Amino acid sequence: MIVHVDMDAFFASVEQMDNPALRGRPVMVGGGERGVVATASYEARRFGVHSAMPAVQARRLCPEGIFVRPRFERYKELSGRIMEVLQAHSPLVEQASIDEAYLDAEGLERLYGSLAGLVCSLRCAIRSATGGLTCSVGAAPVKFLAKICSDVNKPDGVFILEPGDVDAFLASLPVRKIPGVGPRMAEALGKFGIRVASDMRRYSPDFFRTRFGRPGLVLLERAMGRDERSVEPVREAKSESAEETLARDTRDLELLRRILLAHAEKVGRRLRGRKLQGRTVTLKIKYADFTQITRSKTLEAPVASTQGIYGAARELLEAVSLKKAVRLIGVGVSNFGAPRERLTLLSLLNGGRSPELENEKRRMKLDRTLDALRERFGEAAVARGALAIQSRDGLEQGQRRRHGKDPEPSAQMPDAGNLRG
């Protein structure tokens, strides 16, 4: 049996726990004037508010809702305590996100008397370690069913699916509940009369392969109650990213470049802190009409330097149409690590030296020096010239607005490598 532990409205519950004035009230974490809801309390969900919903829409649905700025350090602190509790109960724990994890429960019944005893111990220990937070727990023979089960009796509930009950459970399970089935896939399946998981068993693997490709075959496996994935205690990071919803929609290329540079700085520092490098840089843009695009570039050599990430992201940005104003912009790095054989070949093709690798080494040397300075003297100790000017321009424009004057056009973007300490 596999156990899935999912914290209840985690961010919002933390805010309600830390601030008694928020208890029992509709709380939405995130937002801002143009942002989205990160998490909504159950009081807010009754109004139809949910995570990833635009803040404007959430306010319209729940006018009395209270928006709270996220405190990620606090959430990480409590997440660490939760994972410690889980690891004290089982040697095999896989953290799926900041507020959920899987446990392999094999053999643990002997320690806790039964699977229900293990689940009871987990919930009590989490409540004690966090100061009162609740979680919902699902248990099932396979991973995807355990995740579905944790949602059955939310919040603060338990659902254990015994092996002998799997077929009956699948017979009434809406396909939309299966992880990976979104609205479009559900609609496509509905055209063939597939509305619950057991309906899929009427069709052959060839049917699913032809119409839906490999994801269709995986879906058929789920309909049979199969999931070969085990609980993996160490999960390798797949990507690192940063994005921002802008205060105003814009087509100002210079401004978007500066924001990209700031994102590249954040992503680069996280990667360097984790000793990771990636070969694929992805640009994400959401326009004012909420249409969204992503563009990716795979590099010859892996990067973690701010300049390496920014250079690739800027190329992608300059190839994108700005006929529509931009609402959100972000950058991500993935495809971590380059195969040793590829890097060796790259070096040999360049006479034993790879210009890409050499340039990245120089950039990384500079970035590590800046990281060390910030670590020792604080974040404000040193800043790249473009970001320092961006901050200064923002202050000057704010002062002009307060005095009823129009802001001046933004300054030309300097070389992103220039520094100001």
Could you give the C-alpha distances from 324 to 213, 215, 253, 286, in angstroms and in order? 34, 34, 12, 10
The number of C-alpha atoms within 13 Å of 146 and in the hemisphere containing its C-beta is 24
Tell me how many domains the chain contains. Answer: 3
105 and 4 in contact (C-beta within 8 Å)?
no
421 burial class (0-12, 13-18, 19+ CB within 10 angstroms)? Answer: exposed
pTM: 0.67
CATH number at residue 22: 3.40.1170.60
State the amino acid at position 420 in one-letter form: R
Which of 50, 71, 92 marks a domain boundary? 71
48 and 19 in contact (C-beta within 8 Å)?
no
CATH number at residue 376: 3.30.1490.100
Instruction: Indicate the SS3 state at residue 133.
Output: coil
- What pLDDT score was predicted for residue 338? 45
One digit per residue, the tens of pLDDT, for the chain of length 421 reads 999 999 999 999 999 999 999 999 999 998 777 788 999 999 999 999 999 899 989 999 999 999 999 998 999 999 999 999 999 999 999 999 999 999 999 888 888 999 999 999 999 999 999 999 999 999 999 999 999 999 999 999 999 999 999 999 999 999 999 887 888 889 999 999 999 999 999 999 999 999 888 888 999 999 899 999 999 886 666 789 999 888 899 999 999 999 999 999 999 998 988 888 898 999 999 999 888 999 999 988 889 999 999 999 999 999 998 989 999 999 999 988 544 434 444 444 444 455 777 788 888 888 888 778 777 776 665 666 655 545 444 434 433 333 343 333 333 333 333 333 3
- 319 and 197, same structural domain? no
- 317 and 247, same structural domain? yes
Instruction: Specify which residues 250 forms β-bridges with.
Output: 326
125 and 85 in contact (C-beta within 8 Å)?
yes
Sequence-ordered strand ranges (E) for 54-127: 66-68, 93-97, 100-104
Q: Which of 268, 265, 298 is nearest to 281 (CA)?
A: 298
Terminal C-alpha separation, the chain: 56
330 and 292 in contact (C-beta within 8 Å)?
no
Do the domain assignments include residue 130? no
Q: Which of 236, 245, 221, 206 is nearest to 55 (CA)?
A: 245
Do the domain assignments include residue 200? yes
Map tokens 């004290």 to a residue: 88
- 311 and 176, same structural domain? no
Q: Which of 305, 163, 326, 191 is nearest to 247 (CA)?
A: 326
Instruction: Specify which residues 297 forms β-bridges with.
Output: 281
CATH number at residue 195: 1.10.150.20
- 333 and 246, same structural domain? yes
Q: Which of 15, 43, 100, 265 is catalytic?
A: 100
- What pLDDT score was predicted for residue 386? 57
- Cα(269)–Cα(371) distance, integer angstroms: 7
Active-site residue, 100 included: yes
- 346 and 204, same structural domain? no
- In whole angstroms, what separates CA 254 from the centre of its chain? 27
Which of 43, 71, 99 marks a domain boundary? 71
- What pLDDT score was predicted for residue 6? 97
Do the domain assignments include residue 84? no
- 388 and 253, same structural domain? yes
CA dihedral for 352, 366, 240, 376, sign (positive or negative): positive
Range of the structural domain that residue 215 is part of: 167-223
Which of 22, 45, 71 marks a domain boundary? 71
78 and 34 in contact (C-beta within 8 Å)?
no
Do the domain assignments include residue 245? yes
Do the domain assignments include residue 188? yes
The tokens of 92 are what? 């095999």
Do the domain assignments include residue 97? no
- 396 and 348, same structural domain? yes
Instruction: Indicate the SS3 state at residue 308.
Output: helix
Measured over all CA atoms, what is the biggest interatomic distance in the chain, rounded to whole angstroms?
Answer: 74
* Pairing between β-strand 158-160 and β-strand 239-250 as defined by DSSP bridges: unpaired
- 354 and 292, same structural domain? yes
- 175 and 258, same structural domain? no
385 and 262 in contact (C-beta within 8 Å)?
no
Do the domain assignments include residue 388? yes
- 374 and 248, same structural domain? yes
Q: Which of 175, 249, 243 is nearest to 215 (CA)?
A: 175
Within 8 A by CB and 6+ apart from 103, the residues are 2, 3, 5, 86, 89, 90, 92, 93, 94, 122, 231
155 and 9 in contact (C-beta within 8 Å)?
yes
Compute the chain's Rg from CA coordinates.
25
- Cα(369)–Cα(72) distance, integer angstroms: 26
- What pLDDT score was predicted for residue 412? 33
Do the domain assignments include residue 53? yes
Give yes or no for a cis peptide into 205 (omega within 30° of 0): no
- Cα(256)–Cα(386) distance, integer angstroms: 12
- 246 and 195, same structural domain? no
- What pLDDT score was predicted for residue 391? 46
- 274 and 203, same structural domain? no
